[in-house]
Structure 1
Amino acid sequence: MTLPDRDFVAVALARFDALANYQVTLKSTSTGAETVEVRYAYRKPGFVRMDFIRPHGGATLTFNPESGKVKLWPFGIDTFPRLTLSPDNHMIQSPQGHRVDESDIGALLVNVRELQEHGDTQVVGAETIGTHQAAHVIVTCRPGEYVTGVFRYELWFDLSHGLPIKVVSEGESNEPIETVLMENLRIDVPDSQLRPFA
């Protein structure tokens, strides 16, 4: 399969800018840490809902960009207790230091774009990820320059909607930091089908 000649990162950023919301199941693996699986929902201008499948199955976390606060229900939404936290609270950051208010695809793509500006981009070719045809792209930073501690991103952009469906981040010594699979991605979900964000 021949890939179109394009900047897949720029296309993905434009696609993200045009969408109103999305839902996806995220599976994150990293060395020495338990696999994290989350039903993730995002609505502009930055509302986030994360329903944890594992670990902490049943826990729900929401972020409201208007209040700047995170609400955490350890045992499921609308159950007691409910905690109100700042997004920089270490208790709710990932092992890689990801914050809920910077967890969306757009934030990832901004980091990738910044890395592109300080390095090289290679389009490897077309590959199949699950049932999706994807463009495999590698963005590598020049030595000594980092974006949020990442030296290299490998991304697979779905050729039908242009957004990433798999991302691998690595450090300067090619040590893996995190692998994220994005499954069942739905874009511009009708409001009636979106889980509530509060």
Structure 2
Amino acid sequence: MADPLDEAEARFRALNSYQVTVQSTAADGERQVIHYFYRKPGWVRMEFVQPHAGLVLIYDPAVRKVRLWPFGLNHRPTLTFAPDNPLVRSRSGQRIDRSDVGALLANLLQLRARGRMTPLGDTELAAQSAAGFDILGDAGNAVAGVHRYRVWLAHDTRFPLKVESFDAAGDLIETVDMRDVEIDVRFSERFFAP
């Protein structure tokens, strides 16, 4: 049987695009709901539902810029930022140009290389069969501030459906649920460049 993380990473490399509803909850209870769209070679569109309903961010990998519409597309103002600008980074510091599933899988693989992975068993998430894995870094090892991940991958696609991250003290950093996943979506040419 293939290694589940290696298989997930290989399947990500093979896809062209995806869309997903991301629901993240920080340890303090702050919640975000975002419709997330991705197309290779790195286009990202994020439509915020909660908080900041209507806000849209689009990352253009060719020019390495983020365009922001605070009140929705076709509403002024439109602002442009570098992806490392604090105004377009998450509270935890995550950048839009490193927010896709491929970046997550790279972090999981990197932590596993400096630690260990153990199975958590099978479950069902959002009406999908999934396998869970606990990835724990060796003492002193963390990736992007995360010492431990618990991740659940869909059995059929190996796409991540849920991720919990923990710091070195074992405290929960964030829980991310990914729902309504669609792979290899055909987006119009204007979808990422309105």
TM class by smaller structure: over 0.9
Aligned amino acid, residue 142 of structure 1: D
TM-score, scaled relative to structure 1: 0.94
In 2, Cα distance between equivalents of 1:138 and 1:29? 19
5+ residue gaps in structure 1? none
Once structures 1 and 2 are overlaid, which stretch shifts more, 59-68 or 123-132? 123-132
Aligned amino acid, residue 111 of structure 1: N
TM-score, scaled relative to structure 2: 0.96
In 2 relative to 1, CA 18–181 (structure 1 residues): closer, same or farther, beyond 3 Å?
same
Count, aligned residues: 193
Name the residue aligned to 1:149.
145
DSSP-derived class of the 1:155 partner:
strand
In 2, Cα distance between equivalents of 1:151 and 1:134? 23
Aligned amino acid, residue 191 of structure 2: P
DSSP-derived class of the 1:116 partner:
helix
Q: CA RMSD in A?
A: 1.2
Aligned amino acid, residue 81 of structure 2: L
In 2, Cα distance between equivalents of 1:65 and 1:42? 11
Contact 1:34 1:55 in 2 (8 A): no
Once structures 1 and 2 are overlaid, which stretch shifts more, 30-39 or 7-16? 30-39
1:116 aligns with 2:112: yes
In 2, Cα distance between equivalents of 1:150 and 1:186? 27
1:8 aligns with 2:4: yes
Once structures 1 and 2 are overlaid, which stretch shifts more, 37-46 or 6-15? 6-15
Q: CA deviation at 1:180?
A: 0.4
DSSP-derived class of the 2:141 partner:
coil
Aligned amino acid, residue 70 of structure 2: P
1:103 aligns with 2:103: no
Q: Deviations over 1:65-105 (max 9, x none)?
A: 00000000000012100000010011111111110000000
Q: Point out 4+ residue stretches in structure 1 off by more than 4 angstroms.
A: none
In 2, Cα distance between equivalents of 1:162 and 1:95? 28
Name the residue aligned to 1:197.
192
In 2, Cα distance between equivalents of 1:52 and 1:83? 16
Name the residue aligned to 1:139.
135
In 2 relative to 1, CA 110–128 (structure 1 residues): closer, same or farther, beyond 3 Å?
same
5+ residue gaps in structure 2? none
Q: What is the percent sequence identity of the aligned residues?
A: 42
Q: CA deviation at 1:140?
A: 0.3
1:58 aligns with 2:54: yes
Q: CA deviation at 1:195?
A: 7.5
DSSP-derived class of the 1:66 partner:
coil
DSSP-derived class of the 1:172 partner:
coil
Contact 1:151 1:170 in 2 (8 A): yes
DSSP-derived class of the 1:45 partner:
coil
Aligned amino acid, residue 156 of structure 1: W
In 2, Cα distance between equivalents of 1:162 and 1:34? 28
In 1, Cα distance between equivalents of 2:42 and 2:23? 21
Q: CA deviation at 1:31?
A: 1.8
Q: CA deviation at 1:130?
A: 2.2
In 2, Cα distance between equivalents of 1:28 and 1:78? 27
